[in-house]
Amino acid sequence: MAEFGFNEHHQNEAINYMRFARSKRIIRLKTIDSCFEDLKDSRLVEETFTVDEVRDMLDGLQLVVRGEVETELINTAHTNVLLLRQLFSQAEKFYLRLQTDISELENRELLEQVAEFENTEFKNPNKTNQEISKPKLAPLNEGGVSELLNKEISRLQEENNKLKGRLRTLETQAMGALDEKTRAERALKDLQKMATRSQEITSLEDTVAALQEDYQKSLSVNAASQRDLQDNLVSAKHDLLRVQEQLSLAEKELDRKFQQTSAYRNMKEILTKKNEQIKDIRKRLSKYESDE
């Protein structure tokens, strides 16, 4: 960044701020990726969706991503204000009045130079660390304003080192929190799957219980039907015996009535005569047979 007129100390300060902004950006991007993964895992569980369902999912995702991006933009703006506050506070101690040119913030050429510098510096993290750890040469003039500046620089460097340590701690905690969130989400999904399976098992158990109840009812109905059939069979047998007895009595009555008719008596007389004639003929035949 020599083209910006920075000395080595200010260049290192710029690198530290870029590292801070880069870490915040990485964390926010991971959060946005997590939003998309949550949508995939929670909503995209079917093969086909209607237009309304897709629109509803996209609207929900838009709200979440918009909120994340808005939060990051607001946080970045506030962070920049805090950075300016530090610079202005240091300048006011030495009765300096700093001025800013807002139009330069949209200078495309300078923005491209900053992007190129970031890509170059962060390709090799060890290089940046080595440059930061290099000892700084003390100025020759140690009196007056230079001495105050050196003391202030030393104090700021000490505070900066403390902030770096806190930043690294916060980054580690943030990454750990993201990992914990990921593990918690996975555990929640596993619990949801287990709950779904438990519900399916409960439903199957209810179905089996209903089938058993229906089977018991069917057995009871069949038993009752068998009892009814047996009772009907016994009743039918009794009716049959009664009808047979009535038929026998009717036959006897008809026989008795038939015997009382004149036709029966005439027939009986004729049969009696015929039997007597047959007996007489047999006697005659027996005489002939004995003579021979």
The span from the CA of 37 to the CA of 135, in Å, is 46
Separation in Å, CA 17 to CA 8, 49, 81, 117, 183: 14, 45, 13, 13, 31
Type of residue numbered 177:
A
| Distance set, CA 260 to CA 99, 251, 275 (Å) | 153, 14, 21
User: Which pLDDT score, from 0 to 100, does residue 285 have?
Assistant: 83
Q: Tell me the pLDDT tens digit for each residue of 140-187.
A: 444 445 566 777 788 888 888 888 888 888 888 888 888 888 888 888
Structure-token match 């946005």, residue found = 32
Q: Where are the alpha helices (DSSP H) in the chain?
A: 8-42, 51-93, 108-121, 125-133, 144-259, 262-291
- CA 12-18-24 angle, 5° bins: 140
- pTM greater than the 0.75 cutoff: no
pLDDT of residue 138: 42
Per-residue pLDDT tens for 186-234? Answer: 888 888 888 787 788 888 888 888 888 888 888 888 788 888 888 888 8
Give the Å distances, CA to CA, from 261 to 10, 165, 255, 257, 267.
Answer: 152, 140, 10, 7, 10
pLDDT tens figures, 69-106 = 888 888 888 888 898 888 888 888 888 888 888 888 88
The single-letter code of the amino acid at 234 is V
Amino acid at 292: E
Closest CA to 28 of 89, 69, 59: 69
Encoded amino acid at 226, one letter:
Q
What per-residue confidence (pLDDT) applies to 125?
56
Q: What are phi and psi of 241, to 5 degrees?
A: -60, -40
Q: Which residues contact 23 (CB under 8 A, 6 or more apart)?
A: 167, 171
* Segment 233-273, tens digit of pLDDT: 888 888 888 888 888 888 888 777 777 787 777 887 888 88
d(CA 140, CA 114): 32
Report the distance separating Cα 33 and Cα 174, nearest Å.
15
